Amino acid sequence: MKKRVGILTSGGDCPGLNATLRGVAKALYQRMGENVELIGISNGYAGLINGDWRVMEPHEFSGILTVGGTILGTKRTPFKLMRVVEEDQVDKVAAMKKNYQEMKLDCLLCLGGNGTHKTANLLAEEGLNIIALPKTIDNDIFGTDVTFGFHSAMEIATEAIDRVHTTAGSHSRCMVVELMGNKAGWLTLYAGIAGGADIILIPELPYTIENVCAAIERRAAQGKHFSILAVAEGAMDAKEARMKRKERMAKRAEQGYTTATNRIARQIEALTGIETRICVPGHMQRGGSPCPYDRVLATQFGSYAAKMVEDGNYGVTVAMKNNHVGENRLKDVAGKSRLVPEGHGMLEVARRMGISVG
């Protein structure tokens, strides 16, 4: 009997989404031949809500291993609004269940990050057959050692740090490189070490500007008249860490700073007298072709998901644990984040190398 398998990509894009779609599709066609039909759902859960889907052909999954973005399109549909009926009067959960049934799906594959996994678990609890695959450049999905997209973003972020070294050295400046990561600092920590940053600031470890400036002045005393700071966009100082988010943002607005990096740069100049500039790679970290590691990981994850489809193993998400691909139950990981813990080995590496973490 032919299986109809829905597939969608949700949340922010990242390198490796197309490679994972290819991995799923090629493995399913290889294992099940004409006994499987893939249904592509456009623009994530928005497409599932609105019934925007099409039957896909095998050729659509060819030639996309190295292509960035997602051929299905993606959109952010916040989990917190999934059970909220808004002005359009659409019951989102009911609509998703209705369209799942109208598509005659045997299961649905959801590629995405933390928000995607929470909605995937919601649908599983509503009785749908769900398999999730962990995507995010933040590398912060609970229960897996790595997510596809992370290593590609790390390479891009590292190159950004590499490229500001010459300017910093030539002008005797501090360069503050703002990297993505609102709650988790994995990307900034790894790229900072790979790029030879002198100071790494991540959301999990609140900093003090006094410690940051002390590290810069120590370098200056050693004849090193420039410093590179890798700063996660969600980094906060010790005082801010005691505030709620709204209070923290209001305080920044009152002080005239929109980002942590903007304030850090101005404080460094004021306290040390060293000219300081900001570099923001921004969405470049999410774009372009996946690196070889992510191509392999995406293929591993996709082929494993295909096996779970064939076996009828639902209510789970794919995971990499101790270099082995396996799965977690969605209900065990949805809503949880994997953050950098104090004492993590890479933090110890940074400290041993003389890198200040604030």
Given a contact cutoff of 8 angstroms between Cβ atoms, the answer to whether 22 and 116 are in contact is no
C-alpha to C-alpha distances, 207 to 113, 189, 210, 213, 357, nearest whole angstrom: 27, 14, 9, 11, 7
Q: Per DSSP, what are the bridge partners of residue 54? A: 40
The residue among 19, 326, 278 whose CA lies nearest residue 151 is 19
Among 138, 140, 198, 294, the one annotated catalytic: 138
Other CB atoms within 10 Å distance of the CB of residue 266: 15
Alpha-carbon span 324 to 145, nearest angstrom: 10
Looking only at the bridges linking them, the beta strands covering 316-321 and 130-134 are parallel
Alpha-carbon span 305 to 290, nearest angstrom: 20
Through-space distance between the first and last CA atoms of the chain, rounded to whole angstroms: 59
Given a contact cutoff of 8 angstroms between Cβ atoms, the answer to whether 272 and 199 are in contact is no
Active site residue 138: yes
Supply the residues annotated as catalytic: 138
